[in-house]
Amino acid sequence: MRKQIAISLVSFALSVLLWVAFTGSIKLSLAFFLLLTVHEMGHYFAARQLGWNVTLPLFTPIGAFISGGDIFSKTATQEAYMAICGPLYGTIAALLCYAYGLFTHDTICLQAALIGFFLNLFNLIPFSPMDGGRIMMAVERRVCIFVGIPAIFAFLYYFAGSNPINLLIVLFIIQAGWQDIVARRQMAQERPEYFAVGWQTRVAVLGVYLLLAVFLFVTMRISAFQLTSLMQ
């Protein structure tokens, strides 16, 4: 455990430092990684609650992840629960950061909150390796193909701009997601009980998912508008 904490802290510090070098702002970099930490701890606590043996988050300059916990020995409902807890915790943290920024007119906090809303929404794209893909395992796994892939391109087009680097990231995501789709298809044949989810649970998971996505979209637009008017 001590080694895990050390690895987690060192990767956190290195990622923050790289961001400081890139953005020139210690406060923004720290706020961004603290929001990311809360998101990851959402996954971590949910996994621990389910009795999965997962590691503390490991940070990279482009995101963080926890590993371990054999998902294939659990059920799709448990996987969805663990997946949704990240964006749920992350959204609450971004909201607190947003409220503080609004109250104190702190534009850096508002910027961090805006990035937080954006990243939690991006993570809800129903395509593995994003959280949304894992949430959809308890709703309908084919959503990942028919909604997930177009959603990634829509996100790229509307928010990131289709420059070569973003296109490369999207291709990388699609490649990783496709591997997951193939693995799940095989799993559905070998262990159909994994995907045996009652319709009430499917509706409930989809309801929470859609509510969170709409909420994030709205708060993202409102905070972006407020930030531009504050900075003028």
Q: Would you tell me which residues interact with Zn ion (CB under 5 A)?
A: 86, 131
**Cα–Cα distance measured from residue 32 to residue 19, given in angstroms and rounded to the nearest whole number:** 9
Closest by CA position to 11, among listed 67, 86, 64, 90: 64
Between 35 and 113, name the residue whose CB sits nearer to Zn ion: 35
Smallest distance, Zn ion to C-beta of residue 64, A? 8
Between 79 and 131, name the residue whose CB sits nearer to Zn ion: 131
Tokens of 84: 């949704």
**Which residue has the closest beta carbon to Zn ion?**
86
Smallest distance, Zn ion to C-beta of residue 63, A? 8
Smallest distance, Zn ion to C-beta of residue 123, A? 5
Between 127 and 227, name the residue whose CB sits nearer to Zn ion: 127
Locate all alpha helices (DSSP H) within the chain, ordered by sequence: 2-23, 26-49, 76-104, 107-122, 131-135, 143, 149-155, 164-190, 199-231
Within 8 A by CB and 6+ apart from 29, the residues are 16, 19, 20, 23
Between 78 and 227, name the residue whose CB sits nearer to Zn ion: 78
Smallest distance, Zn ion to C-beta of residue 68, A? 15
